[in-house]
């Protein structure tokens, strides 16, 4: 699906892109209900109160349970409760570096993270993605776009679930994908994959040997098309190969001038 900004009110210097007609009251916010069940418990970590409250209202109207904080230290404490499914994170926090929260969410809790930031260059986006973020939203942004991005990240783990009871193996058992548990193993070793990495691997495995372009992977894995994100696929592939270990470049092969493909045949 293609994302477009709704008409905006206010000045271009505003940090948040507010749709016309939005009076900040609950009745003024559209109920963008997600129909595929991709809702969860979200943690919004943002030191700007206006942005924090606006996101909370939009996300709650979409059916999510939302916790908010302006403190990175408090965010790390909330992650320890085990009740968070996804983190929306501003990296510029007043107490600690937001990357500490990103690291805690990713490495200790294996949670998907969407970064919110004013840094809009492609290089900054790629850096954030390399550090483990699943998505990257630059300010000013549309709250509706954020809701759609949250749904895309939460639903990413469902890719490849058409046969939920089947465990598919590739390369004579080298690679195993268990869709019902969203579990991937290589040489019997479990892989701790982000939703994006799982989506990449299952997309490539859907047709072994078939080259997928970066453009196609962005649309298949992220669920939408957005300028500048084709290059981010390379960062996710690099992270995925690292987790695959010595078999990484053989499992996910580069097709020069095209993109990537699964370098293993599916076992019968």
pLDDT tens-digit map of 240-259: 999 999 989 999 999 998 89
The CATH number that applies at residue 200 is 1.10.10.10
Per the model's pLDDT, the better-predicted residue between 107 and 197 turns out to be 197
Q: How many CB atoms are closer than 10 A to CB 250?
A: 15
Q: 18 near 88, Cβ under 8 Å?
A: no
pLDDT higher than threshold 70 for residue 134: yes
Domain that holds residue 84: 8-156
Residue where a domain stops, chosen among 156, 180, 214: 156
What value does the mean pLDDT of the chain take? 78
Count the domains in the chain.
Answer: 2
pLDDT higher than threshold 70 for residue 120: no
Separation between Cα atoms, residue 49 and residue 25, nearest integer Å: 15
Assess whether 148 and 36 both reside in one domain: yes
Question: Is 3 part of any domain?
Answer: no
98-112 residue pLDDT tens:
889 988 888 788 788
Indicate the pTM of the whole model. 0.57
The CATH number that applies at residue 79 is 3.40.50.2300
Could you give the 3-state DSSP secondary structure of residue 97? coil
Assess whether 143 and 177 both reside in one domain: no
Question: Is 2 part of any domain?
Answer: no
Assess whether 148 and 214 both reside in one domain: no
Assess whether 83 and 99 both reside in one domain: yes
């Amino acid at each position: 699906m293609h994302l477009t900004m709704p008409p905006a009110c206010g000045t271009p210097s505003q940090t948040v892109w507010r749709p016309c007609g939005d009076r900040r009251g609950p009745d003024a916010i559209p109920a963008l209900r997600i129909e595929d069940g991709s809702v969860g418990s979200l943690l919004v970590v943002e030191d700007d109160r206006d942005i924090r409250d606006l996101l909370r209202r939009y996300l709650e109207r979409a059916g999510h349970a939302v916790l908010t904080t302006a403190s990175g230290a408090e965010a790390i404490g909330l992650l320890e409760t085990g009740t968070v499914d996804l983190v929306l994170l501003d990296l510029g926090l007043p107490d600690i570096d937001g990357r500490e929260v990103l690291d805690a969410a990713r490495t200790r809790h294996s949670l998907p993270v969407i970064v919110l930031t004013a840094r809009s260059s492609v290089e900054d986006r790629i850096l954030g993605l390399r550090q483990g973020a699943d998505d990257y939203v630059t300010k000013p942004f549309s709250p509706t776009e954020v809701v759609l991005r949250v749904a895309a990240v939460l639903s990413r783990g469902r890719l490849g679930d058409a046969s939920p009871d089947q465990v598919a193996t590739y390369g004579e058992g080298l690679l195993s994908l268990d869709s019902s548990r969203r579990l991937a193993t290589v040489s019997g070793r479990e892989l701790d994959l982000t939703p994006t990495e799982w989506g990449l691997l299952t997309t490539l495995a859907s047709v072994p040997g078939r080259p997928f372009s970066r453009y196609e992977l962005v649309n298949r894995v992220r669920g939408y098309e957005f300028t500048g994100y084709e290059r981010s696929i390379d960062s996710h592939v690099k992270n995925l190969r690292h987790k695959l270990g010595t078999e990484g470049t053989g499992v996910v092969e580069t097709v020069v001038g095209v993109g990537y493909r699964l370098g293993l045949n599916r076992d019968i």
